């Protein structure tokens, strides 16, 4: 399912085939947690900004509107009118960051819904059944996302349990895929590596889960409080032990510079709420750095956000207009800003892939890493 | 500039030519008060939903971002990237409904900005200069919009002053149009009839302003507290005294049923914030009546909002998805709902025009007036 097209150092150019089409990697997944992109972007907008694969959340959709409802509507693709690939995050991270009153046992996790406080139990099997009901193309394993910092003892025990959960996930997903009325019989399970910032735990866990020969592997539990340096170190440590013929997904990361560094360290899939969130705050990406639309200096500027950008926003609207929309608190401000930022992320990945295709990724990274972090 | 194509009773089918193209009437103007449509609709969306003419507000744009800024950006059309006709409301209504601490004199009105409390003076000449800076295709006269109820004495004096202001508006707009650097040299002035609910004042004022031979006339000061019956009566009373060869605009009206009744009474232009506002509250128009998206019964409904509707929302999304978006408080809910409702209004006007073209308007009105008001 994963085909490696080119390599440059550890950076990889690949193709991942799913039941809803081929994903060109490295790829950024556009985040639609509740089956909708923030900033009022529709599925149609996603197509226009070059999104290859959308990411929704198992925890959120299980709570609302309910995975059985989505199943009855023909699955998530049909529900949100998106016929390209979808990855569903397992909700492990959300249960440990968003839900209240968690109680974790070998069997699973009991927690309170962040919406209405209702007590809910979720086992690895439940999580797989929910994702099978959603019918995503890639289902993420049910894991415990431990806080950083956490005591080594706790992390070790947690990793062992997450491994046992992964075996249960694999078995249940197999069972789900054999059901004649499965929503998406091509649904693929990705395992998630944990281990906080302890290299030996990360490695041991990665070796264990690699043996299960799953269609892909993620590095989870990062971007949750460690330094950027620690994050890069862990990617390097884990990457050596990840199967070379499977895609690697760095969960919840990150800035354009983080993505360049992730690609350089052998990562293929990324996702992050940052471009949409920054957009809503008026922070817009350009190929010269980040600009703040709330800044007075844009008030009379008839140029687009970025003169070199081909996105639907830059093709049509000026900085002056965008700044007006932000000051006037028009919802359109958020939509145009998010649309531009997501286009920018998708365009960044396209440029990374193009560079890899030409063997010029390292030059591209050297040229852009610093510029993209500028605040101008 | 106005060409009458067909008549059926008092209902009129016409064409109004502006500097940015021809408007087919009867027409509903889509409201973008602050140079943006509510619900995150872009100018591109407006084109897709069949909007012929956009309406922005002089008061709002003068306060923010400022008409001089918009002038420097090449005018409102360029600023908001909309090259079809634009009508700008004069701000008279807003000054009397939104701004604080009003002081009215023969010279003009002093008021406090609703944004920052700043004291501002606006004369009829100022209002024309501002609209000339915006470069709209139709500028509305600066008038006093009197409350209903108001004492007859006050209304009479106010009408006299509004008439004197209209003469000043006409003279100033002429002067503005002669400036070599005018943003839009084809800007047209519409007069506004006032007189609250006093038929003889309405008639007297209408006759006075008709003598000025302006490109169009509006009925203002309605939908501000009188009954629907009173409103229809006043339209009938005034309409007889409006020049037959000029377009008539009923300001701020209304429901689909109000529009049908307005057309039947000889009105050509309408505008209203209602379809966008109702959309944001989940109240959606269908050809069988209004549905409430918050209603539980839509939760599992895979049908579009209206199976007969060709709008971009009904072509792609289900009631089940829309209801989920409303419950999950996703901004996309508001956008899709507003898009559908505005499309519906534009489609309603198209059907009205088609019916007039075939001499079947009265049958159309009889068939739809009641249905469209249903809550189903």
Q: What pLDDT digit, counting tens, does each position of A31-55 carry? A: 999 999 999 999 999 999 999 999 9
The reply to whether residue A65 touches residue B317, judged by beta carbons under 8 angstroms, is no
Counting every residue, how long is chain B? 376
Of the residues B45, B67, B89, B306, only one is catalytic, namely B89
pLDDT bracket for residue A161 (50, 70, 90): very high
Of the residues A89, A126, A137, A268, only one is catalytic, namely A89
A111 annotated as ligand-binding: no
Closest C-alpha among B231, B298, B282, B290 to residue B258: B231
Q: Which two tokens stand for residue A355?
A: 């560079």
pTM flag (> 0.95)? yes
Q: Which residue has the tokens 């109680």?
A: A103
Q: Which two tokens stand for residue A319?
A: 């900085």
pLDDT bracket for residue A216 (50, 70, 90): very high
CB proximity A35 to B under 8 Å: yes
- pLDDT, position A151: 96
Q: What pLDDT digit, counting tens, does each position of A96-124 carry? A: 888 777 899 999 999 999 999 999 999 99
Beta bridge partners of A57: A89
Instruction: Give phi and psi for A128, each to the nearest 5.
Output: -70, -40
Instruction: Give phi and psi for A232, each to the nearest 5.
Output: -60, -40
Our CA-based measurement puts residue B227 at a distance from the nearest CA of chain A, in whole angstroms, of 32
A92 annotated as ligand-binding: yes
Q: What pLDDT digit, counting tens, does each position of B224-237 carry? A: 889 999 999 999 99
Architecture of domain A2-272: Alpha-Beta Barrel (3.20)
- Please report residues of B whose CB lies closer than 8 A to that of A35: 321, 324
Provide the 10 A C-beta neighbour count for residue B359: 12
- pLDDT, position A231: 97
B250 CB-side CA count, 13 A = 29
Instruction: Give phi and psi for B8, each to the nearest 5.
Output: -145, 105
- Please report residues of A whose CB lies closer than 8 A to that of B56: none
Indicate the average pLDDT of chain A: 96
Q: What pLDDT digit, counting tens, does each position of A283-334 carry? A: 999 999 999 999 999 999 999 999 999 999 999 999 999 999 999 999 999 9
Of the residues B45, B126, B268, B271, only one is catalytic, namely B271
- Give burial (CB, 10 Å; 0-12/13-18/19+) of B243: middle
pLDDT bracket for residue A92 (50, 70, 90): confident
Lowest mean pLDDT among A220-224, B271-275, B304-308, B349-353: A220-224
Q: A interface mutation test: which of B114, B273, B321 has the most A CBs within 10 A? A: B321
CB proximity A76 to B under 8 Å: no
Residue in B with minimal Cα distance to A316: B81
Q: How far apart are CA B154 and CA B21, in angstroms?
A: 40
- pLDDT, position B238: 98
Active site residue A89: yes
Specify whether the CB–CB gap between B155 and B170 falls below 8 A: no
Indicate the average pLDDT of chain B: 96
Of the residues A45, A126, A268, A271, only one is catalytic, namely A271
Residues 6+ apart with CB under 8 A from A108: A121, A122, A123, A124, A126, A142
Active site residue A160: no
Flag whether pLDDT at A257 surpasses 80. Answer: yes
Q: How far apart are CA B72 and CA B262, in angstroms?
A: 38
A89 annotated as ligand-binding: yes
The reply to whether residue B80 touches residue A321, judged by beta carbons under 8 angstroms, is yes
Q: Are strands A269-271 and A248-250 parallel, antiparallel or unpaired?
A: parallel
The reply to whether residue B73 touches residue A318, judged by beta carbons under 8 angstroms, is yes
- pLDDT, position A95: 87
The reply to whether residue B299 touches residue A65, judged by beta carbons under 8 angstroms, is yes
- Please report residues of A whose CB lies closer than 8 A to that of B323: 65
Q: How many CB pairs under 8 A join A and B?
A: 123
Instruction: Give phi and psi for B147, each to the nearest 5.
Output: -65, 155
Closest C-alpha among B280, B82, B331, B36 to residue A333: B36
CB proximity A34 to B under 8 Å: yes
The reply to whether residue B321 touches residue A40, judged by beta carbons under 8 angstroms, is no
- Give burial (CB, 10 Å; 0-12/13-18/19+) of A178: exposed
- Please report residues of A whose CB lies closer than 8 A to that of B325: 36
DSSP state of A375: B
pLDDT bracket for residue B369 (50, 70, 90): confident
**Facing A34 at nearest CB: one of B40, B44, B328:** B328
Q: Which residue has the tokens 């979720």?
A: A122
The reply to whether residue B335 touches residue A72, judged by beta carbons under 8 angstroms, is no
Beta bridge partners of A6: A13
B145 annotated as ligand-binding: no
* CB within 8 Å of chain A, chain B residues 321-340: 321, 323-325, 327-328, 330-336
Q: What pLDDT digit, counting tens, does each position of B182-211 carry? A: 999 999 999 999 999 999 999 999 999 999
Counting every residue, how long is chain A? 376
The reply to whether residue A331 touches residue B40, judged by beta carbons under 8 angstroms, is yes
Q: How far apart are CA A95 and CA A104, in angstroms?
A: 10
Give chain B as a 3 state SS string: CEEEEEEECCEEEEEEEECCEEEEECEEEEECCCCCEHHHECHHHHHHCCCCCEEEEHHHHHHCCCHHHHHHCCCHHHHHCCCCCEEEECCHHHHHHCCEEEEECCCCEEEECCCCCCEEEECHHHHHHHHHHHCCCEEECCCCCCCCCCCHHHHHHHHHHHHHHHHHHHHHHHHHHCCCCCCCCCCEEEEEECCCCCHHHHHHHHHHHHCCCCCEEEECCCCCCCCHHHHHHHHHHHHCCCCCCCCEEECCCCCHHHHHHHHHCCCCEEECCHHHHHHHCCEEEECCEEEECCCHHHCCCCCCCCCCCCCCCCCCCCHHHHHHHHHCCCHHHHHHHHHHHHHHHHHHHHHHHHHHHCCCHHHHHHHHCCHHHCEC
Closest C-alpha among B169, B94, B92 to residue B125: B169
Q: Which helix (H) or strand (E) holds A188?
A: strand A188-193
CB proximity B110 to A under 8 Å: no
Q: What pLDDT digit, counting tens, does each position of B90-103 carry? A: 998 888 888 777 89
Where are chain B's structural domains? 2-272, 281-373
Residues 6+ apart with CB under 8 A from B162: B141, B143, B144, B192, B194, B205
Specify whether the CB–CB gap between B224 and B145 falls below 8 A: yes
pLDDT bracket for residue A373 (50, 70, 90): confident
The reply to whether residue B38 touches residue A334, judged by beta carbons under 8 angstroms, is no
Flag whether pLDDT at A192 surpasses 90. Answer: yes
Flag whether pLDDT at B130 surpasses 80. Answer: yes
A90 annotated as ligand-binding: yes
The reply to whether residue A36 touches residue B73, judged by beta carbons under 8 angstroms, is no
Q: What pLDDT digit, counting tens, does each position of B146-159 carry? A: 988 999 999 999 99
In this prediction, what percent of chain A has a pLDDT beyond 90? 93
- pLDDT, position A52: 98
**Strand ranges, E, within A53-187:** 54-57, 86-89, 100-104, 109-112, 119-122, 138-140
Q: What pLDDT digit, counting tens, does each position of B164-183 carry? A: 999 999 999 999 999 999 99
Q: How far apart are CA B123 and CA B143, in angstroms?
A: 10
**Facing A80 at nearest CB: one of B38, B321, B334:** B321
């Amino acid at each position: 399912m994963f085909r490696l097209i080119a390599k440059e150092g550890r950076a990889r150019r690949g193709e991942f085939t799913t039941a809803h089409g081929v994903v060109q990697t490295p790829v950024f997944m556009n985040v639609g947690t509740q089956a909708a992109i923030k900033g009022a972007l529709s599925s149609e907008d996603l197509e226009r900004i070059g999104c290859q694969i959308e990411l929704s959340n198992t925890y959120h959709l299980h709570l609302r509107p309910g995975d059985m409802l989505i199943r009855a509507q023909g699955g998530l693709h049909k529900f949100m009118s998106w016929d390209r690939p979808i990855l569903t995050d397992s909700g492990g991270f959300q249960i440990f960051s968003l839900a209240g009153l968690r109680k974790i046992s070998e069997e699973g996790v009991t927690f309170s819904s962040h919406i209405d406080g209702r007590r809910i139990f979720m086992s690895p099997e439940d999580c797989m059944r929910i994702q099978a009901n959603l019918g995503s193309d890639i289902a993420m394993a049910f894991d415990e996302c431990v806080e950083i910092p956490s005591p080594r003892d706790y992390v070790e025990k947690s990793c062992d349990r997450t491994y046992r959960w992964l075996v249960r996930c694999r078995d249940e997903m197999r069972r789900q895929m054999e059901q004649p009325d499965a929503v998406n019989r091509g649904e693929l399970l990705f395992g998630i590596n944990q281990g906080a910032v302890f290299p030996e735990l990360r490695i041991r866990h990665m070796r264990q889960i690699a043996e299960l020969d799953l269609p892909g592997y993620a590095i989870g539990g990062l971007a949750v409080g460690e330094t950027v340096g620690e994050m890069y170190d862990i990617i390097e440590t884990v990457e050596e032990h990840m199967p070379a013929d499977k895609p690697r997904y760095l969960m919840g990361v990150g800035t354009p510079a983080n993505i360049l560094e992730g690609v350089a360290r052998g990562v293929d899939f990324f996702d992050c709420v940052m471009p949409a969130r920054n957009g809503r705050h008026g922070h817009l990406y350009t190929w010269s750095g980040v600009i703040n639309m709330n800044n007075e200096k844009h008030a009379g500027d008839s140029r687009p956000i970025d003169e070199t950008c081909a996105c639907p926003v830059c093709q049509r609207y000026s900085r002056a207009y965008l700044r007006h929309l932000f000051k006037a608190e028009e919802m359109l401000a958020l939509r145009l800003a998010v649309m531009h930022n997501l286009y920018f992320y998708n365009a960044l990945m396209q440029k990374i892939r193009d560079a890899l295709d030409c063997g010029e990724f390292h030059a591209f990274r050297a040229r852009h890493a610093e510029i993209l972090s500028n605040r101008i």
